[in-house]
């Protein structure tokens, strides 16, 4: 099976712009989670989608949003970019949403905001 894929891998934007990142899960996985990694805060949970519904959301402002399509592919959007949004954004997929479902990570999208 192909792994989790993310596009684009690298992105440079300027403050005030918006950005959309894409994640394709492993075939058969219906859950997609998004995480932000920064040197200062480490890895933090953004949100999880399952069957096109947001299941849970981390402590991030409303500028961070996401959606999931019927084929389980997911996108996250960040509007009005700030310098502090520069980070590695990782998505992970799993079959379901119980604690027994292992997560598999994509390679990440490295976003730089200038």
Partner 1 sequence: KNEVEQSPQNLTAQEGEFITINCSYSVGISALHWLQQHPGGGIVSLFMLSSGKKKHGRLIATINIQEKHSSLHITASHPRDSAVYICAVYSGGGADGLTFGKGTHLIIQP
Using CB under 8 A as the criterion, which residues of the chain lie in contact with partner 1 when the complex forms? 33, 35, 37, 42-48, 55-56, 58, 88, 90, 92, 97-105, 107-108, 110
Shortest distance (Å) from residue 46 CB to partner 1? 8
* Residue number, 16 or 96, with CB nearest to partner 1: 96
* Residue number, 27 or 80, with CB nearest to partner 1: 27
With a CB cutoff of 8 Å and minimum separation 6, the contacts of 107 are: 4, 5, 6, 9
Q: Tell me how far the alpha carbon of residue 42 is from its chain's centroid.
A: 15
For β-strands 10-13 and 109-113, DSSP reports them as parallel
Q: Write out the two tokens for 86.
A: 């520069």
Shortest distance (Å) from residue 16 CB to partner 1? 26
């Amino acid at each position: 099976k192909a792994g989790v894929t993310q596009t684009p891998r690298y992105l440079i934007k300027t403050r005030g712009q918006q950005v959309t990142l894409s994640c394709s899960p492993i075939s058969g996985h219906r859950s997609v989670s998004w995480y932000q990694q920064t040197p200062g805060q480490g890895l933090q949970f953004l949100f999880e989608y399952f069957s096109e519904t947001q299941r849970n959301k981390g402590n991030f402002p409303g500028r961070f949003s996401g959606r999931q399509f019927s084929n389980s592919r997911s996108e996250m959007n960040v509007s009005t970019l700030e310098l502090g949004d520069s980070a590695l954004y990782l998505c992970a997929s799993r079959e379901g949403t119980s604690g027994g479902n292992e997560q598999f990570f994509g390679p990440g999208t490295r976003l730089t905001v200038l």
